[in-house]
Amino acid sequence: MTMRSPARRTHGRAARTAVGMIAAGLVASAALAGSAALAGASSAATMTLRTAADARGKDIGVALDPNRLGETAYRSIADTEFSLVVPENAMKWDATEPTQGTFTYTAGDQVAAYASSTGKELYGHTLVWHSQLPGWVSNLDGAALLAAEKSHITNLVTHFSGAVSSWDVVNEAFNDDGSRRQSIFQTKIGDSWIEQAFTTARAADPTAKLCINDYSTDAINAKSTAIYNLVKDFTARGIPIDCVGFQAHLILGQVPGDLQANLQRFADLGVDVRITELDIRMSTPSDATKLATQAANYASVVTACLAVSRCQGITIWGITDTYSWVPSTFPGQGAALVWDESYSPKPAYAAIVAALGGAPTPTPSVTPTPTASPTAPPASGCSVRYTSTQWNTGFTASITITNTAASPVTGWVLRWAYPSGQTVTQAWSSVTTQSGAIVTAANAAWNPTIAAHGGSVQFGLNGAYSGTNAAPTSFTLNGAACAVL
């Protein structure tokens, strides 16, 4: 069952493929979005991860621990910011079948009830995995293990049928070199354990999407290629498989440059793809520079998913750094999530919203910047409208270039000077750089053309300022001055 209206799956506009990040002057505008998340979606103008993702037809998910839902901030963010939930641990084998043949669904049902009552999609994680297995599984031989695998899958998928829309059927089945992980399933059942899992899941719920999920598969590499080959093989042999999950437990500054290409090659096989467990860890403590890089990294992942129409969305592996699995798993690392330990949104929050094409509405107030320029130069072949909203130290600007000439512009570069020391921290729908006060915004790969006789392009950016945030008063398009509207 999907909780969404069919319209959510229609991908309206062309995917935006470029987020231009400036090389220098990345400023963490930690105040950005303020407590917008905690304030909830009380105002139609409040942009959240969810409203921004909804507008792009993508899921924005979170790994949920139902035991935390009693915490006001946790609950409020979960309620407001996400359209999909996945139980972080509640549907794993040790949680659901601690004794052979005895199924406990209490925690899983809590997550399912929460998803249902809040109108969110429910993603199932995970049916067969070498980790978080109850001890009794390790005593089984090949035939008994296969029977247990099938029984476990049948029971879970049947129990949650109608509630779970997609399952991670098999998790982490491969080694980094592309060989099969020598898990108990692999060593005692053999290669067929994966296809048996998928076939069994399909029989239990023919409508749920069935996914294979793994980590370190975000780039094109031996491991992702092994899964790619598995999908090809399954498809050729009629073994059911609908989707591939890319965990994306990433390290700061190491978003693979070929993430989008990797997602696309799987999509081209005819399966859906999804970022399933996104977090971006850094050595702790964090600082403004690291958080700015992290924001850019989150935006890159979002941008890659947006660019692939079969990418269903992005799931973040938790809400607050306080409960992230990272520090206990990777000692010395942390700060990997989007909300810090006080539930304040980190710069990644605004970066994700911006990458999704929205502008987060800051709290407590939004002050429009005056945009009219009484000294606008006479109209030439172009006009520019620059508008921005600002809060204490940050702003979001929207820039529209209109081509008033009789011939189209193919390939555009818009330049302006910031009058009061503003620095661009992030841009979208353009490739934007800054040198001193001068900002140069060039077209993204997908929007090079501005049609003649009034055609326009629009792009946006986030920036930081101190003191005043005066709008630029003149712009050049490919070297020629534009009218300022």
Name the residues annotated as catalytic. 172, 277
Cβ–Cβ < 8 Å for 445, 38: no
DSSP secondary-structure letter at 365? -
Residue 162's nearest CA partner among 126, 128, 122 is 122
Question: Is 331 buried (19+), middle (13-18) or exposed (0-12) by CB count in 10 A?
Answer: exposed
Which phi and psi angles does 457 have, rounded to 5°? -130, 155
Q: Give how far Cα 20 sits from Cα of 3, 30, 275, 300, 432, Å.
A: 34, 20, 21, 10, 5
- R_g over Cα of the chain: 24
Q: Is 13 exposed, middle or buried (0-12, 13-18, 19+ CB in 10 A)?
A: exposed
| Spatial distance between the Cα atoms of 364 and 63, rounded to a whole number of angstroms | 29
CB of 89 vs ligand XIL, minimal distance in Å: 5
Decide if 410 contacts 420 (C-beta within 8 A).
no
- CA dist., res. 350 & res. 354, Å (int): 6
Q: Which residues bind ligand XIL (CB under 6 A)?
A: 88-89, 171, 215, 247, 277, 325
